[in-house]
């Protein structure tokens, strides 16, 4: 089946879709993005994704390319044209096309919008049954990781370091020894009292939508969540650990830098949280 991409007002065959060479996203990584899960052809937590998109854009003084309602129509239409029932929709907004010069173009140019959608296989059963290994890497990123910017080079490098060491993810660690987040996921531990611990949504991390949703779901079940930084040492001696994202959902972590957590199997509380999240998704998709 041929894929279709939306670019600045038009739908193109995926292979023929392109952006201008002086798009500031291409030249300066001057833009933001969102990845939204698609289940049953519907968008999961699209309101929260739109809220985060608006915030990221306003922090960079880029206008919304269109209203949220119109954007949601484009997202749904791209999903429909690609016949995605289970997968993701990706959207990227850049500041637009202008002669290469660092300051914002004046007068402002029209922001550029690209939307793609594709089917994704469900998270592999092995990943859930056995859990995954993570490695640590120094966090070399800027101080506005709360903006979902397309400037992902440090994230690419830590993810590649993880891959080349046979790990699923890299947990980035700040100068004080505290875990910030993964290359493309949020990091969590569960302490000996069964309390979920994850870093607060300040500038050092992206406030993941899955993270936000899981906090709400956990709290609705009376599970305590502590939003505070945790050190790599604390993570290695935690009872359980896991990571979250739109594509990984809730994925158990069983090894950090070669140190095995607990008995080396996914923790029961983590699996319960994964189930809780899966139930929520199933409800949203129905
Ligand atoms: N990544 N932290 C970072 C750095 C991320 O890139 C992501 C998402 C998350 C989790 O956020 P959410 O729960 O909203 O997906 C945390 C997306 C999926 C990506 O870049 O593909």
Atom of ligand 1 nearest to the CA of 211: 13
Give the number of the atom of ligand 1 that is nearest the alpha carbon of residue 145: 4
Same domain, 114 and 150: no
Kindly indicate the confidence band of residue 49, based on its pLDDT and cuts at 50, 70 and 90.
very high
Domain end point (choices 119, 148, 169): 119
Residues 110 and 129 in one domain: no
Q: If you average pLDDT over residues 86-114, what whole number do you get?
A: 97
Q: At what angle do helices 268-285 and 209-220 cross, to 10 degrees?
A: 100
| CA 236/CA 282 separation, integer angstroms | 33
Q: Are residues 133 and 84 in the same domain?
A: no
User: How many domains are there within the chain?
Assistant: 2
Provide the pLDDT confidence category of residue 122 given band limits of 50, 70 and 90: confident
pLDDT recorded at residue 151: 98
Q: What is the pLDDT of residues 206-216, one digit of tens each?
A: 999 999 999 99
On the CB side of 24, CA atoms within 13 Å amount to 24
Q: Are residues 113 and 168 in the same domain?
A: no
Spatial separation of the C-alpha atoms in residues 29 and 200, rounded to whole Å: 26
Domain that holds residue 81: 4-119
Is the bond preceding 22 in cis, omega lying within 30 degrees of 0? no
The CA distance from 239 to 37, in Å, is 29
Residue 73 sits in the same domain as residue 131? no
Name the residue of 34, 35, 50, 147 to mutate for ligand 1: max ligand atoms within 8 A of Cβ.
35
DSSP 111: P
Percent of the chain residues topping a pLDDT of 70: 100
Whole-angstrom Cα distance, residue 107 to residue 104?
A: 8
| 109 shares its domain with 225 | no
pLDDT for 107 beyond 90: yes
Cα–Cα distance measured from residue 182 to residue 164, given in angstroms and rounded to the nearest whole number: 16
pLDDT at 147: 98
Q: Compute the average pLDDT of residues 26-43.
A: 98
- Of 73, 92, 119, the residue at which a domain comes to its end is 119
CB atoms under 10 Å from CB of 77, counted, come to: 15
The length of the chain is 286
Residue 160 pLDDT? 98
- Residue nearest (by alpha carbon) to ligand 1 atom 1: 184
- Ligand 1 geometric centre to CA of 246 (Å): 7
Beta bridge partners of 117: 89
Distance CA 251, CA 3 (A): 29
* Ligand 1 lining (C-beta closer than 6 Å): 35, 155, 181, 184-186, 206, 208-211, 244-247
> For position 156, what pLDDT does the model report?
98
Q: How far is the CA of 68 from the centre of ligand 1 (A)?
A: 21
**Are residues 135 and 106 part of one domain?**
no
Are residues 112 and 23 in contact, defined by beta-carbon separation less than 8 angstroms?
yes
Last residue of a domain, one of 76, 104, 119: 119
Residues 93 and 135 in one domain: no
How many helices and strands, by DSSP H and E, does the chain display? 8, 15
Query: If you average pLDDT over every residue of the chain, what do you get?
Result: 97
SS (HEC) of 43-85: ECCHHHHHHHHHHHHHHCCCCCCCCHHHHHHHHHHHHHHCCCC
Q: Are 139 and 270 in the same domain?
A: yes
> How much is the pLDDT for 212?
98
**Residues 155, 212 within the same domain:** yes
Q: What is the CATH number of the domain that holds 49?
A: 3.30.470.10
Q: Are residues 157 and 216 in the same domain?
A: yes
Catalytic residues: 148
Confidence of residue 285 (pLDDT cuts 50, 70, 90): confident
- The whole-number pLDDT of residue 242 equals 98
């Amino acid at each position: 089946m041929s894929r279709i991409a939306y670019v600045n007002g038009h739908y193109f065959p995926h292979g023929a879709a392109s952006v201008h060479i002086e798009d500031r996203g291409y030249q300066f990584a001057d833009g933001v993005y969102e990845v939204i899960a698609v289940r049953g052809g519907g968008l999961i937590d699209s309101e929260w994704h739109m809220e985060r998109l608006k915030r990221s854009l306003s922090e960079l003084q880029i206008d919304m390319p269109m209203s949220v309602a119109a954007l949601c129509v484009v997202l749904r239409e791209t999903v429909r044209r690609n016949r995605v029932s289970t997968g993701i929709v990706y959207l990227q907004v850049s500041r637009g096309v202008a002669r290469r010069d660092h300051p914002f173009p004046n007068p402002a140019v029209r922001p550029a919008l690209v939307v793609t959608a594709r089917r994704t296989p469900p998270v592999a059963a092995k990943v859930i049954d056995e859990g995954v290994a993570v490695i640590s890497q120094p966090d070399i990123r800027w101080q506005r990781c709360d903006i979902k910017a397309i400037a992902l080079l440090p994230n690419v490098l830590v993810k590649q370091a993880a891959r080349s060491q046979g790990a699923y993810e890299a947990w980035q660690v700040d100068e004080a020894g505290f875990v910030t987040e993964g290359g493309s996921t949020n990091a969590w531990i569960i302490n000996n009292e069964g309390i979920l611990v994850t870093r607060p949504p300040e500038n050092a991390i992206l406030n993941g939508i899955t993270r936000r949703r899981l906090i709400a779901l956990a709290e609705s079940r009376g599970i305590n969540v502590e939003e505070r930084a945790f050190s790599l040492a604390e993570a290695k001696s935690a009872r359980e650990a896991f990571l979250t994202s739109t594509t990984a959902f809730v994925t158990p972590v069983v090894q950090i830098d070669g140190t095995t957590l607990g008995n080396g199997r996914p923790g029961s509380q983590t699996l319960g949280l994964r189930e809780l999240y899966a139930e929520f998704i199933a409800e949203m998709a129905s």
